Every structure is written in structure tokens, then in C-alpha cells.
């Protein structure tokens, strides 16, 4: 699974590329600007994939915990009902 540290690396790469883009804007080298823009796009896609992966993992774990919690509540309710019926 990708981590938030991976996203930090991608963000650092993006910052560097943005700096290069700004520099090349002054030079007017459109071939180089196109290359840098493509690299930025690739890094941004990587960041989106990483966030999506982290989100899916977190949502899956939350769902698992919710199911476990729901089972525990059901068991407690049954135990309470059995206890009440015994005392009658």
C-alpha cells in the first residue's frame, strides 16, 4: 500500500517541476515547457492514485471495524435479553 510519505515525495517532485516550469516560461522554450507539463501531469496522477489507494484501505478498515462493532452490539443485546428472560 502506498503511504502518505509517498505522497510527500510526489509533492516535492511537483514543487521542483513547478520551479522548472516557471524558469522555462521566461526562456520561452515551448518544447521544454511541454515536457515539464507532461511530467507534472504524471506526478499528479501518481498522487491521485496514492490518495485513492490510501482512502480505499482506510474505508475498508472502517467498514471491517463497523461490522465487528455491530456484531458485538448484537451479542450484547442477546445476552441482555437472555438475562432478562431468566430473571422473570
Q: What is the pLDDT of residues 36-71, one digit of tens each?
A: 999 999 988 988 888 888 889 889 999 999 888 766
In this predicted structure, what is the pLDDT of residue 30?
A: 92
Query: With 60 as the cut, is the pLDDT of residue 86 above it?
Result: no
Helix axes 30-87, 4-27, angle to 10 degrees: 160
Cα 45 to Cα 10: distance, rounded to the nearest angstrom: 10
Q: What is the pTM of this model?
A: 0.61
Q: What is the pLDDT of residues 4-29, one digit of tens each?
A: 787 788 889 999 999 999 999 998 88
**Cβ count near 33 (within 10 Å):** 15
Q: 88: part of which helix (H) or strand (E)?
A: none
- Confidence grade of residue 87 (pLDDT, cut at 50, 70, 90): low
Amino acid at each position: 500500500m502506498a503511504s502518505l510519505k509517498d505522497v510527500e515525495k510526489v509533492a516535492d517532485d511537483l514543487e521542483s517541476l513547478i520551479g522548472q516550469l516557471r524558469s522555462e516560461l521566461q526562456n520561452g522554450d515551448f518544447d521544454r515547457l511541454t515536457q515539464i507539463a507532461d511530467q507534472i501531469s504524471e506526478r499528479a496522477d501518481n498522487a491521485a492514485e496514492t490518495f485513492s489507494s490510501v482512502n480505499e484501505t482506510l474505508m475498508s478498515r472502517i467498514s471491517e471495524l463497523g461490522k465487528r462493532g455491530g456484531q458485538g452490539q448484537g451479542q450484547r443485546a442477546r445476552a441482555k435479553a437472555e438475562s432478562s428472560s431468566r430473571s422473570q
